[in-house]
């Protein structure tokens, strides 16, 4: 009798455990899938609230260069150009500097220097963007005037300021990724007579390549969406000029500057469509980054 009762309790306990596990698993699955739901909801809301310019301009909104709220003629190309140009300049400046500092801090610097510098780098990532904007306005803009920029503000100024802002992301993430490379891998290449630089180039960087690329695209995401700091130093002129010293405009900056001043529904919805384009650009870049990282990971696994 006791044996049957014990078996019944054991069966009940097992069934309850399976039910709890099933509930826990599916709850977490729903939470994970909610990310897709939130993303889709944002996209749908942006499309719905930019219906008027989508119906009037269609795809020509992407390459029209006129931004005239008075006559309700709107085009996103100057803002798309300004966003991609400033972000590209920022990466071009920050990537070699950030990667070099990450390698130095993780492979070459002594602990008494590496730890304090790494702490300061992480602090720089937490500084609000408006503080960077003030620094750029009062320090960087006068320097640019000395270099030949007629106004001091412009694409190059915004690109340099963005490079300073995204530098901590590249340094901190790349450093952490490099530190995860197994020590045996370093010792193996050094035992073959390789120099310190050869060890870093052959054994460390290929192993950490996916993580480094991830840090670059994380920094790019920060650069694409930056608003206040760029608004303060880019000049806010919706024109496409080849000179890096000329003022320009970005998608995030025009939304921040003009949304509260928009007086008509068509004007407001045109700004929302700018936000939709920024949303799409961010998704495309992140998708390409994920594809690139996945391909590199598969190649590394195939070689091993």
Each residue of 209-232: pLDDT tens digit?
888 888 888 888 888 888 889 999
Residues 11 and 154 in one domain: no
Confirm whether 221 is domain-assigned: yes
d(CA 227, CA 220): 14
Position 259 in a domain: yes
As for how many domains the chain has, the answer is 2
Classify residue 118: in a domain, yes or no. yes
What is the reported pLDDT for 4? 62
Cα-based torsion angle of the residue sequence 81, 82, 85, 86 in order, rounded to the nearest 10 degrees: -160
Q: Is 114 exposed, middle or buried (0-12, 13-18, 19+ CB in 10 A)?
A: middle
Same domain, 33 and 141: no
Same domain, 151 and 280: yes
Q: How far apart are CA 117 and CA 101, in angstroms?
A: 10
Residue with tokens 């610097």: 109
Q: Is residue 31 part of a domain?
A: yes
Is 215 in the same domain as 286?
yes
Q: Is residue 54 part of a domain?
A: no
Q: Give the pLDDT of residue 111.
A: 85
pLDDT of residue 297: 61
- Distance in angstroms (rounded) separating the CA atoms of residues 158 and 146: 16
Q: What is the CATH number of the domain that holds 98?
A: 1.10.3720.10
Q: Is residue 144 part of a domain?
A: yes
**How far apart are alpha carbons 17 and 249 in whole angstroms?**
58
Q: Which two tokens stand for residue 260?
A: 């509260």
Pair 145, 87 in one domain: yes
* Strand partners for 235: 248
* Residue 55 included in any domain: no
Please tell me whether residues 33 and 77 are part of one structural domain.
no
Domain that holds residue 8: 2-48
**Are 96 and 38 contained in the same domain?**
no
Q: With beta carbons less than 8 A apart as the criterion, state whether 240 and 65 touch.
A: yes
Same-domain status, 85 and 200: yes
Residue 53 inside a domain? The answer is no
Q: Are residues 13 and 139 in the same domain?
A: no
Task: Give every residue of the chain whose pLDDT is below 70, as ranges.
Answer: 1-16, 293-304
Q: Do 124 and 24 share a structural domain?
A: no
Tell me: do 70 and 43 sit in the same domain: no
Judge if 18 and 163 occupy the same domain.
no
pTM: 0.84
Residue ranges of alpha helices (H) inside the chain are 2-48, 51-57, 77-103, 111-125, 129-135, 141-147, 155-179, 183-191, 196-199, 205-225, 228-233, 251-258, 265-303
Contact between 47 and 54 under an 8 Å Cβ cutoff? The reply is yes
């Amino acid at each position: 009798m006791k044996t049957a009762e014990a078996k019944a309790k054991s069966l009940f306990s097992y069934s309850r455990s399976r039910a709890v596990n099933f509930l826990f698993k599916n709850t977490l699955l729903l939470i994970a899938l909610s990310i897709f739901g939130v993303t889709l909801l944002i996209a749908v809301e942006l499309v719905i609230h930019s219906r008027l310019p989508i119906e009037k301009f269609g795809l020509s909104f992407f390459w029209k260069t006129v931004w005239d709220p008075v006559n309700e003629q709107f085009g996103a190309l100057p803002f798309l150009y300004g966003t991609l140009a400033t972000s590209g300049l920022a990466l071009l400046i920050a990537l070699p500097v950030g990667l070099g500092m990450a390698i130095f801090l993780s492979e070459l610097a002594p602990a008494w220097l590496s730890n304090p510098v790494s702490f300061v780098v992480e602090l720089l990532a937490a500084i609000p963007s408006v503080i960077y904007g003030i620094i750029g306005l009062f320090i960087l803009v006068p320097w640019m005037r000395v270099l030949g920029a007629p106004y001091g503000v412009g694409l190059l100024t915004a690109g340099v300021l963005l490079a300073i802002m995204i530098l901590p992301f590249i340094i901190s993430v790349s450093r952490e990724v490099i530190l995860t490379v197994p020590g045996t891998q370093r010792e193996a290449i050094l035992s073959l007579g390789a120099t310190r630089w050869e060890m870093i180039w052959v054994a460390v960087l290929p192993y950490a390549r996916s993580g480094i690329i991830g840090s670059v695209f994380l920094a790019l995401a920060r650069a694409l969406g930056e608003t206040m700091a760029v608004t303060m130093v880019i000049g806010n002129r919706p024109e496409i000029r080849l000179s890096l010293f000329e003022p320009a405009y970005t998608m995030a900056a025009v939304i921040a500057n003009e949304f509260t001043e928009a007086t008509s529904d068509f004007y407001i919805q045109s700004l929302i469509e700018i936000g939709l384009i920024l949303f799409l650009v961010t998704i495309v870049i992140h998708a390409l980054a994920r594809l690139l990282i996945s391909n590199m990971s598969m190649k590394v696994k195939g070689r091993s």
